[in-house]
Amino acid sequence: MSNTLISPVKAGAEPAFFSPQLKFALRLCVGLGLGLAVASCSKVSFLDTTQTYNEGYIIDQQALDTVAVGSSRDQVLLALGTPSLKAMYDSEVFYYISQTRYRRAQFMKPKIIDRRVIAIYFDKQGNVSKIAHYGLKDGKLFDFASKTTPTGGKDQSFLNQLIMGTRAVPALPIPKNPR
């Protein structure tokens, strides 16, 4: 007889020092480690809580390019659709208004970061006489189509109020005692 020791552990069996709790903890750590490794390689979108909203008339440059000076009112309506606002000054004007809002988190109030107005001016015969693309540049009303700052007039003061919001409207004095 030889002096070989026969081990009570069967082939393929795990040593007895791995308890069920330790096995669970090891599997959990390996799973979490793999999950974090995969997540760190890609952008985690559920952590990004910022939101940007585009509201109003979304400018379609191809449709806008089909409208030229001399086009009829019906051609403008077919190309751009119903305007956000119509006005009559010396002649009719169609306004297509859009704005962009942004908020950092779901619970925060959205802030207007951009407001644009496309103005289509018509002559007395109902044909396009001018196309303007208004917005703010350096805090002032600016026409991006002609690259100019509009001068005074009814239309310019209206556009200031439209683009800048209520900040452009002067506050009315409140009477102290109306008696």
Looking at residues 24-30, what average pLDDT do you find? Answer: 84
Q: Give the separation between CA 73 and CA 94, rounded to whole angstroms.
A: 9
pLDDT band of 40, cuts 50, 70, 90? low
Q: What is the DSSP letter of 22?
A: H
Could you report the per-residue pLDDT of 119-170, keeping only the tens digit for each? 898 999 999 998 888 887 766 667 776 666 666 655 666 676 666 665 544 4
**pLDDT over 90 (residue 37):** no
Would you state the pLDDT for residue 87? 81
Q: Measure the CA–CA gap between 32 and 176, rounded to whole angstroms.
A: 68
Strands 85-88 and 92-103: antiparallel
| Helix (H) or strand (E) segment spanning residue 137 | strand 128-137
CA–CA distance, 124 with 128 (Å, rounded to integer): 10
**Matching CATH number, 51-168, of 3.40.50.300, 3.90.1150.10, 3.40.50.970, 3.30.1450.10:** 3.30.1450.10
Give the pLDDT of residue 133: 84
Residue 77 burial (10 A CB sphere; 0-12, 13-18, 19+): middle
Q: Band of the pLDDT at 172, cuts 50, 70, 90?
A: very low
d(CA 6, CA 81): 90
Confidence of residue 173 (pLDDT cuts 50, 70, 90): very low
